[in-house]
Amino acid sequence: MLANKLNKGDTIGIVSPSSPVTEDLIPQLKQGIQVFKDMGFNVVLSKNIYSNTLRYSATIDEKVEDIHEMFSNNEVKAIICSQGGQNSNAILPYLNYDLIKENPKIIMGISDSTALLNAIYAKTGLVTYHQNDIIWGIGREIYEKEIADLKLRLLEGKTGDIEHFTQWKCLKEGKAEGVLVGGNLWTFTKLLKTPYCPDLSNCILFLEEFASETPIDEIDSKINLLKQHGVFDMIKGLWLGYYEKDNKDIKFEDVVLNNLSEYNFPIIKCDDFGHNCENVLIPIGSKVKFDATNCKIEIVEEFLK
């Protein structure tokens, strides 16, 4: 299921499915909103975007109300998450997936939004979009390459090769085809063995992690959690993103390779998606050709109509 491409003049809605927008973050929120206004869009905020009823986030009901309102509002053509956090998975059982199917539209986010994006794809078949959020991504630092990629993908629906913002590395040679699923490693593990986890057979799994919250030994633990749930027995390829605390002694990719030596699927490493870096837009639910040998990923079907 595909949403419609955006046109200049369309309205974008901002929601907070994870942490609330607190007063100290309002300047970054405004800067992120301005980026989209400069691109030619109108922007509206959800009713409960600032709500902190629980003293750590809005309530489940408040978050669900906002998401349902954005999907049912015919004026809103795309939905973007304000920021990440820890608890977007709490709202998944309460979402009206029939409403979402009846009103397909772009929904985009990163980090804790991984749970929401993959769950919506799993329950409805709607392609969703992994990309920087308003506050900590687009509102903190503007990357011109990222904005150009957004325009190509969301306004033109451009398929084909995924852009290289940095030099990509082949960790294990090979080629495969599959559907993109994934996002933040820690958040993705919360979906395992739930109705909100996408079908992982024949998929290309992409993973990144937030270094400030997940030290390298916890990455080891999370990779093994995926392994023990049989994830790596099902996937066709693995695409690793940015980890800010990589150093000459130990890297994200080292932990992955140390634990996956018995698998033969192709693996690519890049710094083009994740926390505190430029992000290419990744359509969750779209089919790609995955060529690790030549460090190339090609989107081979339309992801917007």
H helices present in the chain, as ranges: 26-38, 60-72, 97-102, 113-124, 144-150, 185-189, 216-228, 231-234, 252-259
**Each residue of 213-231: pLDDT tens digit?**
899 999 999 999 999 999 9
The confidence score (pLDDT) of residue 159 equals 96
**Each residue of 55-91: pLDDT tens digit?**
999 999 999 999 999 999 999 999 999 999 999 999 9
Does residue 3 fall inside a structural domain? no
Cα dihedral sign, 190-300-82-77? negative
**Each residue of 27-40: pLDDT tens digit?**
999 999 999 999 99
Expressed as residue numbers, the domain containing 135 is 11-155
Considering 155, 184, 212, which residue would you say is the last residue of a domain? 155
Mean pLDDT of the chain: 96
The confidence score (pLDDT) of residue 141 equals 77
The confidence score (pLDDT) of residue 139 equals 79
What is the domain-level CATH number for residue 216?
3.50.30.60
Considering 108, 127, 155, which residue would you say is the last residue of a domain? 155
What type of residue is 186? W
Beta bridge partners of 269: 169, 240
The answer to whether the CB of 282 falls within 8 A of the CB of 271 is no
The confidence score (pLDDT) of residue 137 equals 85
